[in-house]
């Protein structure tokens, strides 16, 4: 009898431990150094991904924000050592740190947003920003009365040029002769937090004839939208749906659904589904979209809406090929 | 600096400790405000920074950076020059180190790459300080303004180079290729491993010893050479120094070059030691923190060593704090660091008068007692 009890106890203990190791779900997120309240990318992950998932599933997600470059790797290393999995890293800046840590902890599953890390335990979430930018560029060209559109970028890096290049292609797809102006705010990360300069650039573009401006500039975008409102021009938001910020002058927003992807990864992982490798969130996969809601309904006519949707379908079907700046590091299309 | 009536031990030891205590007391209020027991937080911070090997490794790794930039600020300050450009000089210095690693790494052995990378880092850092130094010495443009401007130029130049020149094909973040293994500085866990000592992996590397050597060399230079005497003379009284036959213009340039070279050595730790590639923004404020380190360290190499250690503890321990407590955001750790800078740097002279009063009162009463006893 005693023997039997200890046996069952051992069996129970064994099965419990195997459950603990196999099905343990300890999700974690490591934000970029800009933090989770950056009003853009990090915030989308925090609000639509982490918070939403915590509320729906009751599972708490561990959050970490490094203060400098070194702490990226240090933080990831510690998350992995503490048994967190999956660990989502927010932003392409994590690629080199993640490559090192993921190699060291092959049993832990990692996700990186906006970059590719080619390891068997890393899922790389890539967004086809050029496709979304193409759509809003096409819409901009349709509504432009001055026959000129423009782009304000934040920091001058390939990712931002990818937005610009897609936008330009979209505008020229609709109207090959359209005027196109492009300015970058700066060359340091502070370029994403300089609304004053954003407004200046937008105003100079308006004075050169543009009447629709697309800002892919993080926090600097607010200045661009404000300038458009002040001068009665149109502006296009980025990453999150920013239509509500200035109803009446926000033509639309190029939406990148990072929060939703975060949520999906956690939800799938909870069900035991995780697939490492490249995961391209393009128009077809619903990772990229343009925003149409009550705030910009009056600015987009039914005819234009149909036309943009048709272009979107053509991109999904592969009839329109949008050139990706980062594929060749130049914008020749 | 020491023109008060206090003995050295109060100036060098007691006052900095009092300032630090004040800063920590105010920080405690911040922790209480978010329902964190400040004693628990302090314990966690110290244990996280010094209580286990990995923590110690990170603390000393941060301290290495601060020693370089702190010395850079201190040596310029001892000649009366306020070099705010440590950030840019370290950035460009790291570029020099990184370029050597990229170019020579594939073909040369470590014992050639290492000295060339070190010299290139120092030379690049020094050259970045040369123009502000020249403008200060011969054209009267204030070095504070020009060095700040050069920080921005350095940042822009690095962005251009990283994005357009150094970034390998297909790489998304702005980083260079990873150096060949013979262009890596030995890590501390490897070095100790050669002597049979077990040490866990940490970013601490050989450049820690470079930093210690730099401390000794700066001390020798400032207090045991004629140049050092001239530098200090220029710093305490330029008119007298000039009267004494020192060429202030030439010396200004030389001091700024040394300062830039010291800042440029940061690349040895960050680029060749830790990340083994050039990354955009690898300096991330260490140059500015160097100003605080130099102020707290009272411009003396021994002081700078301890101030660097203090900031290493604040950086590493602070990271532990934000990791362990969900309601301690990274920004609050920065508040603690800033309070230390505020009280130890900006308000460093605040306590001098009161302490002087107390000290004089105490010594006077003791002298009175002695007098009465004698009588």
In this prediction, does ipTM exceed 0.95? no
The answer to the question of residue B36 being in a domain is no
pLDDT surpasses 60 at A317: yes
Q: What is the mean pLDDT of residues A233-242?
A: 92
Tokens coding B228: 């050092």
Interacting residues of A291 by C-beta distance below 8 A, sequence separation 6+:
A237, A241, A242, A243, A252, A253, A254, A255
Q: Which of A69, A75, A189 sits opposite B323 (nearest CB)?
A: A75
> Sign of the CA dihedral B297, B298, B302, B304?
positive
Model pTM score: 0.81
What was the pLDDT predicted at A330?
A: 86
CATH number at residue B170: 1.10.3470
ω into A86 cis (within 30 of 0): yes
Q: Which helix (H) or strand (E) holds B211?
A: helix B207-224
Q: What is the pLDDT of residues A40-76, one digit of tens each?
A: 778 889 999 999 999 999 999 999 998 888 889 999 9
The answer to the question of residue B151 being in a domain is yes
The answer to the question of residue B62 being in a domain is no
Residue with tokens 């920590």: B24
Averages of pLDDT over each 10 residues, chain B, 375 residues: 69 83 91 90 91 93 97 95 95 97 93 96 97 94 95 91 83 83 92 90 94 97 94 93 92 96 96 92 91 89 94 92 83 87 79 86 82 68
Mutate: best of A157, A159, A189, A326, partner B, most B CBs <10 A: A157
Q: Is residue B290 within 8 Å of B66, Cβ to Cβ?
A: yes
Whether A280 contacts chain B with CB within 8 A:
no
Range of the domain at B240: 68-314
What was the pLDDT predicted at B102?
A: 95
Residue with tokens 């020099």: B96
The answer to the question of residue B143 being in a domain is yes
The answer to the question of residue B233 being in a domain is yes
pLDDT surpasses 50 at A215: yes
The answer to the question of residue B210 being in a domain is yes
Q: How many domains does chain B have?
A: 1
What was the pLDDT predicted at A241?
A: 87
The answer to the question of residue B156 being in a domain is yes
Q: Which of B159, B171, B203 sits opposite A156 (nearest CB)?
A: B159
Report the gap between the CA of A169 and the closest CA in chain B (Å).
22
Q: Which of B58, B275, B284 sits opposite A74 (nearest CB)?
A: B58
What was the pLDDT predicted at A22?
A: 40
Higher pLDDT among residues A11 and B361, named by residue: B361
Domains and CATH numbers, chain A: 23-127+259-281 (3.40.50.2300), 129-256+301-328 (3.40.50.2300)
Whether B327 contacts chain A with CB within 8 A:
no
Whether A147 contacts chain B with CB within 8 A:
no
Contacts of B285 in chain A (CB under 8 A): 68
pLDDT surpasses 90 at A185: yes
Whether B213 contacts chain A with CB within 8 A:
no
The answer to the question of residue B356 being in a domain is no
Closest Cα to residue A29, out of A265, A270, A288, A280? A265
Closest Cα to residue B211, out of B374, B315, B65? B65
């Amino acid at each position: 009898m005693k023997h039997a009890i200890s046996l069952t106890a051992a069996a129970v203990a064994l099965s419990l431990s195997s459950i603990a190791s196999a099905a343990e779900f300890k999700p974690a997120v490591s934000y970029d150094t800009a933090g989770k309240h950056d009003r853009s990318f990090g915030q989308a992950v925090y609000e639509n991904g982490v918070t939403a998932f915590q509320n729906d599933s009751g599972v708490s997600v561990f959050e970490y924000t490094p203060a400098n470059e070194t702490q990226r790797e240090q933080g990831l290393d510690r998350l992995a050592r503490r048994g967190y999995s999956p660990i989502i890293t927010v932003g392409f800046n994590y690629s080199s740190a993640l490559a090192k840590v993921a190699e060291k902890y092959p049993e832990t599953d990692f996700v990186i947003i906006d970059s590719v890390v080619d390891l068997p335990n890393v899922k790389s979430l890539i967004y086809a920003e050029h496709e979304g930018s193409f759509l809003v560029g096409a819409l901009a060209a349709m509504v432009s009365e001055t026959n000129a559109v423009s782009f304000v970028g934040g920091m001058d890096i390939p990712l931002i040029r990818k937005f610009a290049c897609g936008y330009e292609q979209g505008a020229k797809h609709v109207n090959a002769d359209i005027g196109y102006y492009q300015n970058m705010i700066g060359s340091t990360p502070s370029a994403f937090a300089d609304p004053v300069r954003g407004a200046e650039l937008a105003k100079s573009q308006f004075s050169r004839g543009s009447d629709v401006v697309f800002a892919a500039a993080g926090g600097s975008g607010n200045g661009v939208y404000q300038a458009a409102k002040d001068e009665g021009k149109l502006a296009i938001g980025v990453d999150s749906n920013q239509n509500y910020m200035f109803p009446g002058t926000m033509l639309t927003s190029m939406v990148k659904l990072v929060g939703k992807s975060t949520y999906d990864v956690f939800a799938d992982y909870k069900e035991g589904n995780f697939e490492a490798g490249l995961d391209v969130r393009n128009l077809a996969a619903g990772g990229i979209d343009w925003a149409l809601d009550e705030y910009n309904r009056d600015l987009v006519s039914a005819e234009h809406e149909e036309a943009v949707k048709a272009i979107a379908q053509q991109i999904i079907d592969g009839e329109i090929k949008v050139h990706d700046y980062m594929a060749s590091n130049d914008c020749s299309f | 600096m020491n023109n008060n009536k206090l003995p050295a031990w109060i100036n060098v030891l007691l006052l900095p400790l009092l300032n630090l205590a004040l800063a920590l007391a105010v920080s405690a209020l911040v922790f209480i405000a978010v329902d964190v027991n400040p004693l628990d937080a302090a314990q966690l911070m110290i244990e996280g920074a010094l209580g286990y090997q990995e923590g110690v490794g990170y603390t000393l790794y941060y301290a290495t950076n601060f020693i370089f930039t702190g010395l850079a600020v201190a040596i310029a300050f001892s000649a009366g020059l306020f070099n705010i450009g440590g950030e840019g000089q370290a950035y460009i210095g790291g570029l020099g180190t990184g370029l050597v690693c990229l170019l020579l790494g594939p073909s040369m052995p470590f014992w050639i790459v290492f000295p060339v990378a070190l010299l290139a880092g120092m030379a690049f850092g020094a050259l970045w300080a040369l123009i502000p130094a020249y403008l200060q010495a011969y054209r009267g443009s204030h070095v504070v303004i020009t060095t700040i401007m050069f920080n921005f130029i350095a940042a822009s130049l690095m962005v251009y180079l990283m994005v357009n020149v150094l970034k390998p094909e297909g790489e998304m973040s702005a980083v260079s290729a990873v150096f060949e293994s013979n262009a890596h500085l030995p890590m501390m866990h490897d070095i100790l491993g050669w002597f049979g000592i077990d040490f866990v992996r940490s970013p601490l590397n050989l450049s820690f010893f470079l930093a210690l050597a730099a401390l000794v060399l700066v001390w020798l230079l400032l207090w045991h050479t004629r140049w050092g005497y001239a530098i200090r003379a220029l710093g305490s009284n330029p008119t007298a120094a000039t009267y004494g036959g020192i060429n202030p213009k030439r010396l200004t340039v030389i001091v700024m070059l040394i300062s830039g070279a010291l800042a440029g050595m940061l690349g040895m730790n960050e680029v060749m030691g830790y990340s083994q590639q050039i990354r955009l923004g690898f300096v991330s404020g260490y140059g500015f923190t160097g100003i605080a380190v130099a102020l707290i360290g009272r411009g003396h190499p021994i002081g700078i060593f301890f101030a660097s250690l203090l900031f290493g503890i604040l950086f590493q321990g602070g990271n532990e704090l934000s990791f362990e407590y969900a309601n301690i955001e990274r920004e609050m750790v920065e508040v603690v660091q800033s309070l230390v800078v505020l009280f130890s740097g900006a308000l460093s002279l605040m306590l001098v008068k009161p302490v002087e009063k107390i000290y004089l009162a105490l010594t006077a009463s003791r002298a009175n007692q002695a007098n009465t006893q004698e009588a």
